[in-house]
Structure 1
Amino acid sequence: MKQTTSPGIQPASRDSGARSVQWPRPGLAPPILSALELAQLLQTSLELERILDLFSQAIQSAFPHDGLVYENTACGLHIHSGRLSRHSCSYHLTTEERDLGEIRFVRGRKFRDSELHQLENLLAGLVYPLRNALLYRLAVEAAQTDPLTGLHNRAALDRLLPRELARFQRGGQPLAMLVIDLDHFKKVNDTLGHSAGDEVLQAVARCLEQATRKSDMVFRSGGEEFVVLLHVAQAKHGVEAGERIRRALEDCDRIQEAAPGFLPTASIGLAIATDSDTPRTLFDRADQAMYAAKSAGRNRVHAAPTPR
């Protein structure tokens, strides 16, 4: 399968192993749609996961499959749904100006040539809705990224915190919040200038990324204040994470190079989420704990008491 089909759909591989997760689909499969009808259906959403799910359900009658995998390494995306199956077929999708990534379908029995021909026709209806969804995703990410540090910004925190808190309150992993404020940062700006202050903030961002896990979420919430959302089993693990970050910032060569003659440190407040917390109360408790750390002498971690 090396031939290229019309526009932007290139078969990549066939009958290779694939890994995916359970994907129950109750009820009957929907009727077969034309490529135009399919494109119109997919244009009802700009959410990438929703578009892929709509596409999979819509083509189930014409192209039965157990699941699909979508990958776009340039965007750091790996979306999978379905169940483990033996056979697969893959297609690389492009437009004139953009690489859209690869989509792979899996099922337990081999795909027939007639089915693959039908799929290639239907994939033409996916290409442009998929492109629009990727552009929308990039625009949302840009709007929620701090331009100076490259971290998530306050808008991203306002979007993600309610989601993470709701997951915890539905029985998910315990959630902790660290509010991190640089000590005496104003002196750096006043003495070395705002350019040096910007370099310090950029250095802090890199040190925070290195001192946290990939699963942790790091934000610049404003000025010299940063927030980390992380999942911890116990409160003491949150304190340990805060101490690890505090030491990393205190010993960070990048920060010291950006602000020669200063030893910037950070005061850190920790709050562990409870079932009664709202995003605002969780942030307020962590923020108050940060101010308590400053009042106690700065360059330390203070844990907020659990509310009664």
Structure 2
Amino acid sequence: MMDFGLATEFYPEDYQYLSDQPQAIRPKMDLLQAVQRLHASLDPRTVFACYGKLLQQYLPVQGVQLRLKGHQFHWGRTSQSTVSRELVSKLGTAKLRYRLQRVLSPVEQAELEQIEALLSQPLFNAIAYSQMSEQAMFDSLTELGNRHYFGQCIRTSLARAGRAHSPISLVVLDLDNFKQLNDSLGHKFGDRVLTQFGKLLKCGIRNADQAFRIGGDEFVVLVEGNLESAVRMSERLLEMLANETLFHRHGIACSIGIAAWSAGVNQDQLFEQADRALYRAKAAGRNRYCIATRD
């Protein structure tokens, strides 16, 4: 899975680095225009790229790097002369490192501080917005995608598979004996099981695949591949569960239904196929996978 902090090196076309040609006369700073440009986007990467462009417009800056907790941004390129600074915000203290063509004059140092002060609010607002957007897409307990995000992803994946004529499969998973144990041992224990299963699921899938918790002890995986790929993933997960102490001790296993997408099948039909295969696996004794049959 992915890391839900933002760690990127981003160079939008509109903000590409300019040449190093000497600039004898630099334009006077237009603070209002600078503020408007920095507030024009809620994408943190774009805000930071705009900041780099502003720096280059008014100062001999070749590049800048910002680090804040799990966030990291780069703009421009490296140079031998550097200046390190800190920027305090409601999200914490950011570490800034500037790459310069030359040492800044006292006037330029003051201008840097002025531009820097403009960055804090738009960048950290954009980061906060990005974090809230991510929280709306991910399950807080397992850190897997949630039902809403699954709906978005399966639509996108099926559309892409249709255009590229590429295989895609859906795997639906349900924990065996979970509800009884959750009732008898309590929700704290249940949360522990779900959290651990989420970790196992993330370890058991490939980078190209996507895992989601869609409710209770129900999970799905979008597999970028054919039935064989989905079966290998399912077998791997069942083996991991059998070797996990927490699940083995309490008799918790997993039933799995697998369906391969075919042209003309929509997302609801694909899910229904995989879900029916899941219930066949449960009826056959649980702790196994079944493959959907073509209607």
- SS of the residue corresponding to residue 58 of structure 2 reads coil
Displacement after TM superposition at 1:152 (Å): 3.3
Is the Cα–Cα contact under 8 Å of residues 36 and 125 in structure 1 kept in the other structure? no
Distance 1:135 1:123 in 2: 19
Q: Which residue of 2 aligns with 1:186?
A: 179
In the superposition, relative to structure 1, how do residues 27 and 186 fare at CA in structure 2: closer, same or farther (>3 Å)? Answer: closer
Is the Cα–Cα contact under 8 Å of residues 69 and 103 in structure 1 kept in the other structure? yes
Displacement after TM superposition at 1:172 (Å): 11
Aligned counterpart for 1:55 among listed residues 42, 51, 61: 51
Displacement after TM superposition at 1:253 (Å): 0.8
Over the residues paired in the alignment, what is the CA RMSD in angstroms?
4.2
Displacement after TM superposition at 1:78 (Å): 4.4
- SS of the residue corresponding to residue 144 of structure 2 reads coil
**Are 2:243 and 1:255 equivalent residues in the alignment?**
no
**Are 2:194 and 1:201 equivalent residues in the alignment?**
yes
AA aligned opposite 1:158: G
Q: Which residue of 1 aligns with 2:229?
A: 237
Aligned counterpart for 2:286 among listed residues 298, 301, 304: 298
**Are 2:40 and 1:44 equivalent residues in the alignment?**
yes
**Are 2:275 and 1:287 equivalent residues in the alignment?**
yes
Aligned counterpart for 1:128 among listed residues 121, 124, 127: 121
Return the TM-score normalized by structure 2.
Answer: 0.70
Q: Which residue of 2 aligns with 1:270?
A: 258
Distance 1:50 1:21 in 2: 8
Displacement after TM superposition at 1:204 (Å): 1.9
In the superposition, relative to structure 1, how do residues 42 and 166 fare at CA in structure 2: closer, same or farther (>3 Å)? Answer: farther
- Larger CA deviation: 57-66 vs 116-125: 57-66
**Are 2:132 and 1:139 equivalent residues in the alignment?**
yes
- SS of the residue corresponding to residue 87 of structure 1 reads coil
Q: CA offsets, 1:108-154, max 9 Å, x none? A: xx623359745553232211111112222233333444344443322
Displacement after TM superposition at 1:39 (Å): 2.3
Distance 2:137 2:10 in 1: 30
Is the Cα–Cα contact under 8 Å of residues 23 and 67 in structure 1 kept in the other structure? no
Q: CA offsets, 1:134-190, max 9 Å, x none? A: 222233333444344443322333344445555656659865432211123333245
**Are 2:76 and 1:87 equivalent residues in the alignment?**
no
Is the Cα–Cα contact under 8 Å of residues 90 and 102 in structure 1 kept in the other structure? no
Distance 1:131 1:150 in 2: 23
Segments of structure 1 that go 5 or more residues without pairing to the other structure are 1-18
**Are 2:27 and 1:34 equivalent residues in the alignment?**
no
Return the TM-score normalized by structure 1.
Answer: 0.67
Is the Cα–Cα contact under 8 Å of residues 93 and 99 in structure 1 kept in the other structure? no
